[in-house]
Structure 1
Amino acid sequence: MTTSAPAIAKPSKRRAAWLVLLWLLVLPGAVWAVLRVGGWERGLLVQLFAFTPYVAAWSVVPVVAALATRRWLAAAVAALTFVLLAAMVLPRAFADGDRGPQTGVKMRVMTSNMLFGGADAAQIVRFVRDNDVAVLALQEFSPTAQTRLAEAGLGQLLPYSSLGAEFGAGGSGLYSRFPITSPDVRVNGGFFNQAYGTIQPPGAAPLTVESAHPLAPFSVDVVDRWRADLEAEPRAEPKGMPRILLGDFNATLDHQPLRELIDSGYRDAADATGNGLIGTWGPYDGDLIPPVTIDHVLVDNRLGVTDADVHDIDGSDHRAIIAEVVLPAA
């Protein structure tokens, strides 16, 4: 009797160790899903939540592990976690049934973060020309970049502008094919410029366009300012003039402040057209960072979206977005 006890104990200890390991696989994803559903990301979690699509993809692993070992409670929690995360993330990969009006005046818009003004100006102008872009929003737009864009011929394509160029990351630019009325630049809480103005394409009603650039949550100390910048972005006004906000929002659709902004009456162009999981920032200037989607084109719900494409820009750590929007006829 005494000699058989160790043989019985070893499998029991292995089973207990495996059970502990299994729950260590299951619980982080479950907590992540609960925080994401509640919009409760705070502190360091704000940065981490940009990578929620990767957590959603990984969450299938605990499901398989729990089912393979017949740990039914762990399997149930893991499966629920997977379903919740998939429900929040997967729709971005599929075009929405409601992309807004599809008939009216079509206009292509583009946004690009120039990384301290160092992005390839000639390439940006080429994208404007080749894609028939009518409105261009730029962030991290410097005086040097302004000069290089002019030398590359941007003024011949988009002769109207509202500009707030600055050295560093704070500059903002807005160029248009159509006259800009009431052009101006506002400074947000993160001390970034946001150029804006009102345009009226032929055959369409007037609308406001703005180059958005809230502060990045680059450290825990500035998370409150990041949140305040997003909360201060212009809300959609269903009874007012339609608006397009486009730029580097330093937030993904997994961040509650951005979702609240969209819920005020916008639609995300990439999300609506099934391209919402395409990365726009991360490894594009050589950094070892998984791609995340922090650049967006937000259009008033009264406007439609037909497509949204993402393009590499030499000299920048961001990719540009070009979207076609549909404006109701005047």
Structure 2
Amino acid sequence: MVLSVLFVAIVAVPLYPELYGLDEVTPFAQLVAFRPQGLVLVFALALLMLIRKGWRIAAGLVAVLALIGAGLTLPRVTSDPKPAAADTRVLTIMVANVLGGGANAGAVAELIREHKPDLVSLPEAQVDVREEIRAQLVGYAGYTEQPTRAVESATSVLIAASLGAVQVKADLPTSFGNLMVTGGNLGQLRLVAYHGFPPLPEDVPPWKHDLTQLRRWCAQDPPTIVAGDFNATLDHADFRWAMASNCHSVAPSVGGGFKGTWPSDQPPVARTQIDHVLATRTIQPLRFATHEIEGTDHLAVIATVAVPKE
């Protein structure tokens, strides 16, 4: 019994590193991004352990561990979308990490023409890439923020003319560029195009710093939508902390919480969801879909939300 409990405690470390204070430590900060897949593997391990009579106590405990995790994550795919409430207006937001210009600009433009998003967040799009996409569209203005020479630090937005005379500016200081869109026909609503630093083994502190800035957007009063490549999943405790109680992610709110967006060159079961559209609680999630784009390792995201009319 003692050995079984000890074994389960060890198995739980990569699945729930936040319980051990290890969620910001390499390699656990990276492994936990794939917790749903880990739960499946752990449950399969429990079934295999049943073969050996002396391992059955440990097998039962491991199975319970996996089932508890499944119970906590399944709501991401069981939440049903609801029709837009009365006295709301519908907005469509698109996110496409273009991999520093590696993505096929024509494919990105075609997706925009097909779905007509009000705002397009383009992580890793420098001015030339943004303009290559915009040149193939009608009725979109483009803006870019690039705080360093690094290509990945560039974040661009394309804004539909239907939003009116908006103002665009860089807001809170983050490792990569971010752009806040306000005014025009948005009223009190703020739209933020965001790209968070990745939790690379040597770069967990800047990743955590960027999520701290995200928390500030979620905690402030104006209704806010933040869209981009967050390099974080719902299984990261820091990401959940950043959303606090005032932001929710559109995907799990409408049953799309297991639609992985990266890496796109892997089978769907081997992907994780790091591209998100977040919204403060007064904004109602409606739909969430992913789309393949040639030349990038991310799937594009298109989300629809209902915003209360003012």
TM bucket, shorter chain: 0.7 to 0.9
What is the CA deviation profile of residues 190-230 of structure 1, one whole-angstrom value per residue up to 9, with x for unaligned ones?
A: 2x1101111454xx7431111111111122x2111111111
For 1:99-114, list aligned pairs within 5 A.
102-103=85-86, 104-114=88-98
Contact residue 17 and residue 32 of structure 2 kept, 8 A? no
Structure 1 Cα separation of the partners of residues 104 and 21 of structure 2: 37
Structure 1 Cα separation of the partners of residues 20 and 212 of structure 2: 17
Tell me the residue number matched to 2:287: 307
In the superposition, relative to structure 1, how do residues 100 and 172 fare at CA in structure 2: closer, same or farther (>3 Å)? farther
Tell me the residue number matched to 1:73: 57
Tell me the residue number matched to 1:54: 37
Structure 2 Cα separation of the partners of residues 299 and 100 of structure 1: 17
- Give the alignment partner of residue 260 of structure 1, picking from 234, 238, 241: 241
For 1:1-330, list aligned pairs within 5 A.
28-36=10-18, 40-44=22-26, 45-70=28-53, 71-95=55-79, 102-103=85-86, 104-153=88-137, 156-159=138-141, 161-164=142-145, 168-177=151-160, 178-186=163-171, 188-190=173-175, 192-201=176-185, 205-219=187-201, 221-233=202-214, 234-237=216-219, 240-284=221-265, 290-330=270-310
TM-score under structure 2 length normalisation: 0.86
Contact residue 184 and residue 195 of structure 1 kept, 8 A? yes
Structure 2 Cα separation of the partners of residues 254 and 33 of structure 1: 9
What is the CA deviation profile of residues 164-203 of structure 1, one whole-angstrom value per residue up to 9, with x for unaligned ones?
A: 256611111122221353311247442x1101111454xx
In the superposition, relative to structure 1, how do residues 151 and 259 fare at CA in structure 2: closer, same or farther (>3 Å)? same
TM-score under structure 1 length normalisation: 0.81
Question: How far apart are 1:123 and its partner, in Å?
Answer: 1.6
3-state SS of 1:144 partner:
helix
What is the CA deviation profile of residues 227-252 of structure 1, one whole-angstrom value per residue up to 9, with x for unaligned ones?
A: 111111233246x2100001000111
Question: How far apart are 1:129 and its partner, in Å?
Answer: 1.6
Q: Which runs of 5+ in 1 are unaligned?
A: 1-19
Question: How far apart are 1:101 and its partner, in Å?
Answer: 5.9
3-state SS of 2:222 partner:
coil
Question: How far apart are 1:317 and its partner, in Å?
Answer: 0.9
In the superposition, relative to structure 1, how do residues 109 and 61 fare at CA in structure 2: closer, same or farther (>3 Å)? same
Structure 1 Cα separation of the partners of residues 67 and 20 of structure 2: 16
Tell me the residue number matched to 1:14: none
Question: How far apart are 1:24 and its partner, in Å?
Answer: 9.7
Question: How far apart are 1:117 and its partner, in Å?
Answer: 2.2
How many pairs align? 300
Structure 1 Cα separation of the partners of residues 246 and 66 of structure 2: 29
In the superposition, relative to structure 1, how do residues 100 and 163 fare at CA in structure 2: closer, same or farther (>3 Å)? farther
Structure 1 Cα separation of the partners of residues 6 and 101 of structure 2: 45
Identity over aligned pairs, percent: 24
What is the CA deviation profile of residues 262-314 of structure 1, one whole-angstrom value per residue up to 9, with x for unaligned ones?
A: 22411111111111111111143x79x93111110001110001110001111
Structure 2 Cα separation of the partners of residues 180 and 264 of structure 1: 32
Contact residue 112 and residue 319 of structure 1 kept, 8 A? yes
3-state SS of 1:193 partner:
coil
Structure 2 Cα separation of the partners of residues 68 and 300 of structure 1: 49
Q: Which amino acid in the other structure matches residue 63 of structure 2?
A: A
